[in-house]
Amino acid sequence: MLVAVAKETFPGEKRVALIPAAVSGLIKAGMEVMVEASAGEAAGFPDQAFAEKGAKIAQNRAEVFQADVILQVRAAGANPEAGRADFGQFRQGQTLIGMCDPLGSPQPAAELAQRGVTLFALELLPRITRAQSMDVLSSMATIAGYRAVLLAAETLPKMFPMMMTAAGTIAPAKVFIMGVGVAGLQAIATARRLGGVVSANDIRPAVSEQVQSLGAKFVQLQLDTAAAEDKGGYAKEMDDEFLRKQREMIARVVAESDVVITTAAVPGKKAPTLVTAEMVGGMAPGSVIVDLAAERGGNCELTSPGQTVVHNGVTILGPTNLSSDVPYHASQMYAKNITTFLLHLVEEGRIKLDWEDEIVRDTAIAHGGKVVHPRVCELLGIAPPTDAGQKPHEPPRAAPAGDSAAAGENEYKVSEGGDN
């Protein structure tokens, strides 16, 4: 079985789906590996490094699409414009694995299904122990949370740590993290390492211990949060009345903060507004907001995706692909996730799909010429298949709190662009 890695075509994307160190594991499992020329250069992985590990270097994209399995970072709906140029090269029976944004942009998945492609969306991996090493959203959210704090530190006209100097004492920066998922926890840890005084909030009260274990203060809201967490441990989307009360209680904390980092995104839907224009108006000039949900419309009312907005002296950053800013380690983590997933599907060198396995069921979007994922079928307005081999499954749980990632879906998670 030939596995190929296509060079990413999404504007500004520097990651690569596979790194040289991951090639040998696939070869050992009985696969051949092909990598498109220069696919890894932007991430720091030259063609020679892949070749030394046994991968063949494809000199043109058409050669890549002769493979049985194609690995990408952004596939289908996660690269809806530039990615469409590849659709004509897919053929029946091929397998495509990557982040596909099937809940936000389902139509590309339907088009690939019509071409007979088996499509797996890694964002939909179930949050179970067996799938932890495949969890791309958590991996990318980790990087997004780290990068968000560095962006804030670069933008803030203050230093993060307290300093005792001959010129006087410098007070530490106050950092407020909204949403304590993977990205939020990494943001807390990074801000603490830089010396900031950190507080955090999440609609799931159970995460308060995690916040405190990192040396931050958990901002407790006097709200009924009994319905804020589902049985899978994910933060759920709350109604408008809950969000209104939450915003009222948080306004004071936001006003006192030098930096606010928001991480709440809802896959396939607009991100909830947590920071209103009125709240921004209450912040001191020079303060910074980093909105990790910018790709989904933003948690701040004034966020503009991919842009920097200045309002009454407050800078609002709306990054949409933070993981790509650290492409070397982002690719390293992503490669581990995607190869673990692929090896999970492979038996004796070939892909064998076990439809009783929830990892397979929850991530499979298209197979056998049809869209097979119930949630995506619902978005497309079609009935899910009921024949054997394309077995319907329980509605997917949303992604882990914090991306991308992408870091919940109907829950708090970091948007991979933020993790797509």
Residues tagged active-site: 127, 132, 135, 138, 234
C-alpha–C-alpha distance, residues 273 and 296, integer Å: 11
Residue length of the chain:
420
Q: What is the DSSP letter of 28?
A: H
Q: What is 288-343 written as a DSSP string?
A: EEEETTGGGT-SBTT--TT-EEEETTEEEE--S-GGGGSHHHHHHHHHHHHHHHHH
Dihedral sign (CA 206, 211, 213, 216): negative
Which alpha helices (DSSP H) does 39-135 contain, by range?
Answer: 47-52, 61-64, 107-114
Pairing of strands 163-165, 69-74: unpaired
Which alpha helices (DSSP H) does 156-288 contain, by range?
Answer: 182-193, 208-213, 240-256, 277-281
Backbone angles phi, psi at 364, to 5 degrees: -70, 120
C-alpha–C-alpha distance, residues 272 and 229, integer Å: 16
Q: Which residue has the tokens 């780290």?
A: 146
Please state whether the peptide bond connecting residue 12 to the residue before it is cis, i.e. omega within 30 degrees of 0: no
C-alpha–C-alpha distance, residues 287 and 270, integer Å: 25
Q: Cβ distance 31 to 346 under 8 Å?
A: yes
Cα dihedral: 180, 181, 185, 191 (round 10): -70
Strand partners, 315: 288, 310
Q: Both tokens of residue 340?
A: 């673990």
Pick from 135, 92, 94, 87: which is nearest to 108 by CA? Answer: 87
The set of residues, in sequence order, having a beta carbon less than 8 Å from that of 328 and lying 6+ positions away, is: 43, 44, 45
- Residue 15 to residues 19, 242, 334: CA-CA distances in angstroms? 10, 38, 9
